[in-house]
């Protein structure tokens, strides 16, 4: 990260900030140009529990059908955006093409939306990667984003609190039952979190299986309340 920070700093002296979507120069503090910002898929109508995007006509605080039938074990969910273009492309570039300069503009979208969140958590925990995956990728995108959020919101960032102790196969294409089985006992708590109000942070929530398994582990460790934060949420389960 030190190398990245130095390179990023040098680049920032040489080049004006450019909109991550269209590439036009925006000035030093603005990441997205006004035109692109206005069209970003903000997740303004969402289930307050699992953050599933709901139709615009849904009244505020409406729970999705799934949360009514099977209430989640976490307290509430918040995601800034829907996982749609251009956000899905930007997150993929950050993760898979090591475009770490995108972490700040993306985290900033979350910060914009978190602004007046009531009853904030006392600890922010990024979803950990398995050490093998971390070695392969070189960084954990959720930690890089959470680092920026924690700094801005003055939250305690605890990225050592949980470890991913089992390397799980890709979840794509697995049934819900198979996903649960795949993730069972995937995490371990290394810290005393008893009585804490934590927010788990992931870059993207798809089915919620990972975040649910991690929540289960944290509740067993005595955590009092868990909120789920993510940059983006897939619209369909």
Q: What is the dihedral of CA 179, 182, 183, 186, to 10 degrees?
A: -170
Q: Which of 21, 107, 155, 228 binds Zn ion (CB under 5 A)?
A: 21
CB of residue 33 vs Zn ion: minimum separation in angstroms? 3
- Residue ranges in 53-92 that form contacts with Zn ion under rule CB under 5 A: 64, 67
Q: Taking CB under 5 A as the rule, does residue 106 contact Zn ion?
A: no
Q: Cα–Cα distance between 107 and 65 in angstroms, integer? A: 29
Q: Which of 17, 31, 33, 186 binds Zn ion (CB under 5 A)?
A: 33
Q: Taking CB under 5 A as the rule, does residue 36 contact Zn ion?
A: yes
∠ at Cα 167 (90, 97), nearest 5°? Answer: 20
Question: Which span (41-49, 119-127, 136-144, 190-198) binds Zn ion, by CB under 5 A?
Answer: 41-49
Burial class (CB in 10 A: 0-12, 13-18, 19+), 205: buried
123, 156 Cβ separation under 8 angstroms: yes
Specify the residue, 129 or 227, whose C-beta has the smaller distance to Zn ion.
227
Specify the residue, 62 or 182, whose C-beta has the smaller distance to Zn ion.
62
Q: Taking CB under 5 A as the rule, does residue 205 contact Zn ion?
A: no
Structural tokens at position 71: 């209430």
For the chain, state the CA radius of gyration: 18
For Zn ion, the binding residues (CB under 5 A) are 19, 21-22, 33, 36, 47, 49-50, 52, 64, 67
């Amino acid at each position: 990260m030190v190398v990245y920070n130095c390179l990023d700093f040098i680049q920032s002296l040489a080049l004006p900030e450019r909109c991550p979507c269209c590439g036009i120069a925006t000035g030093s503090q603005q990441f997205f140009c006004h035109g692109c910002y206005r069209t970003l898929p903000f997740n303004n109508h969402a289930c307050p529990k699992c953050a599933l995007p709901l139709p615009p006509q849904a009244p505020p605080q409406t729970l999705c059908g799934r949360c009514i039938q099977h209430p989640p074990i976490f307290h509430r969910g918040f995601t800034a955006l829907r996982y749609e273009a251009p956000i899905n492309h930007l997150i993929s570039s950050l993760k898979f093409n090591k475009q770490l300069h995108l972490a700040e503009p993306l985290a900033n979208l979350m910060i914009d939306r978190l602004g007046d969140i009531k009853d904030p958590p006392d600890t922010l925990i990024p979803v950990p990667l398995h050490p093998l995956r971390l070695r392969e990728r070189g960084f954990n995108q959720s930690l890089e984003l959470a680092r920026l959020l924690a700094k801005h919101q003055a939250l305690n960032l605890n990225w050592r609190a949980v470890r991913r102790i089992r390397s799980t196969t890709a979840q794509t294409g697995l049934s819900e039952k198979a996903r649960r089985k795949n993730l069972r006992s995937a995490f371990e708590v290394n810290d005393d979190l008893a009585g804490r109000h934590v927010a788990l942070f992931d870059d993207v929530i798809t089915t919620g299986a990972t975040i649910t398994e991690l929540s289960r582990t944290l509740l067993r460790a005595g955590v009092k309340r868990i909120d789920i934060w993510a940059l983006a949420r897939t619209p369909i389960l």
